[in-house]
Amino acid sequence: MRMRNPKYMNEVIESCPFLIKNAINFEKEYPIHIEIGMGKGNFILNMAKKYPHINFIGIEKYSSVASIAIKKIMELEEELPNLKIIISDIKNLEELLKCKVEVIYLNFSDPWPKKKHAKRRLTSPEFLKLYDKLFKGKARIYMKTDNDDLFSYSLDSLKEHGYEFKKISYDLKDENIDNVLTEYEEKFQNQGIKIKYFEAIK
């Protein structure tokens, strides 16, 4: 069930100085990494803090959810010139992001478990063809999920699409990688749920 619109939603969105509407304008021309389905923004926010020489864009199609992330970022004491937000479906962003993206993060995407909804999965062939148009140079996709079926499907889908896997993990907690947690990930770890992870390149 979709969450209710926060009372402050419209005000926060309208006053957001880092919301991208028509053009991407970062202060410095660093590599661009995007998170599709940023949720409440913990991951993209902390990535921007941790890696100041990368430009990050958090993409969220639901205004109600995006407004929570925006409010969180606006309340920071520090400014993050390397962080922008887009409120839109990724399907509508081909022209805006074409040949600009170096890394795509897919964190705890909707698994769309029914077979008839497979085309809606963010690792379906339809979406992978779209991503091909967004990448600048080599394509790199990093994915985290708690869903076994989506993970298996994604491995097969990316392999069919020409990707190779630099890393595959069925329990990210046991891996020695520089991991930034999402809201879901923190919740799942506390519940003892294993997080699946891959790094893919084409």
Give per-residue pLDDT as tens, 35-85: 999 999 999 999 999 999 999 999 999 999 999 999 999 998 889 999 999
Spatial CA neighbour of 111 closest among 96, 121, 103: 121
Mean pLDDT of 116-136: 97
Catalytic choice (89, 110, 149, 156): 110
Contacts for 24 with CB less than 8 Å, ≥ 6 apart: 32, 57, 84, 96, 97, 100
The answer to whether the Cα torsion of 82, 6, 35, 86 is positive or negative is negative
CB 56 within 8 A of CB 44: yes
pLDDT over 60 (residue 2) = no
> Which is more confident, 7 or 117?
117
CA atoms of 100 and 153, how far apart (whole Å): 27
Report the b/e string of 24-40 with b at 16+ CB within 10 A. eebeeebebbbbbbbbb
Q: What is the pTM of this model?
A: 0.93
| 132: annotated active-site residue | no
For the chain, domain boundaries: 9-201
Number of C-alpha atoms within 13 angstroms, CB side, residue 161?
A: 24
Looking at residue 52, what is its pLDDT? Answer: 96
7 confidence band (pLDDT: 50, 70, 90): low
Per DSSP, the residues of 86-150 read EES-GGG-HHHHTTTEEEEEEES-----SGGGGGGSTTSHHHHHHHHHHBSSS-EEEEEES-HHH
Provide, rounded to the nearest whole percent, the portion of the chain with pLDDT above 90: 77
CB 92 within 8 A of CB 120: no
pLDDT over 90 (residue 164) = yes
pLDDT over 60 (residue 3) = no
Q: How far from the centroid of its chain's Cα atoms is residue 80's Cα?
A: 18
The one-letter amino acid code at 6 reads P
pLDDT over 60 (residue 1) = no
Look up the CATH number of domain 9-201. 3.40.50.150
DSSP 51: -
